[in-house]
Amino acid sequence: MVPETLPVLPAALDYAGVAVFALTGALAAARDRHDIITFWFFAVVTGVGGGTLRDLLIGAPVFWVGDPTYLAIGLVAALLVWFLAPHLERAKTLIWLDALGLAAYAVIGAGKALALGVDPFVAVAMGVLTACFGGVIRDVLAGQPSALLKREITISAALLAAAGFVALRAAGVPLAWAGVAGALAGFGLRAGAIHYGWALPPFGEKRGQGKA
């Protein structure tokens, strides 16, 4: 069976998604008062970390190696945070853009894996890694508890987006519609977590217990 061809993501959308993640990386550097080079490093690693791991695991060319634009995006993000960190930290827009990027990149990661003939279940995992792993690296480098280990719905949102996309493709839904539906599902779950404080019940919590 010949793998389906995954349409190339519009460059502007791809760059915008990386930029959002890069900003969160630079903000992590700002909180610890690092220098501008460390800002840049954090921005790049956060922006491309998930996609890099995905490409290495599925045997694809690492997406940013042939395109220095991604490094330039990291530098711009670092400079923006260097001069505007207090304003960006207060900007609720960044939180919502990060949620949108999480959902979109979960679908993109799963789609790229499917296009290379990866098993559907593994493709879902690749989608989650694409969306989340950059943030894990950022938190480790910053010496902070990973945001993914907090009781916020983050990994679950990426999982829903990737799994929804893969399931719809298996059902024969056209690529574009499956991608949009998967991304919207993941974004909706993450949005609910941001706005309403949704969280999955932790281990050991009895029915009827929880937040007041």
Segments forming the whole domain that contains residue 30: 11-196
Does residue 210 sit within a domain?
no
Does residue 205 sit within a domain?
no
End-to-end CA distance of the chain: 53
Does residue 1 sit within a domain?
no
Average pLDDT over residues 46-61: 93
Give the whole-angstrom CA distance, residue 156 versus residue 116. Answer: 24
SS3 209: coil
pLDDT for the residue numbered 5:
42
| pLDDT tens figures, 92-122 | 767 887 888 899 889 989 999 998 999 999 9
With a cut of 80, say whether residue 79 has pLDDT above it.
yes
pLDDT for the residue numbered 88:
72
pLDDT for the residue numbered 8:
44
pTM of the model: 0.83
Does residue 35 sit within a domain?
yes
Give the whole-angstrom CA distance, residue 29 versus residue 66. Answer: 26
Q: For tokens 């679908």, name the residue.
A: 107
Does residue 119 sit within a domain?
yes
SS3 2: coil
Does residue 142 sit within a domain?
yes
| pLDDT tens figures, 158-194 | 999 999 999 999 999 998 899 999 999 999 999 999 8
Query: Mean pLDDT across the chain, nearest whole number?
Result: 85
Count CA within 13 A, CB hemisphere, residue 44. Answer: 16
User: What total number of domains does the chain contain?
Assistant: 1
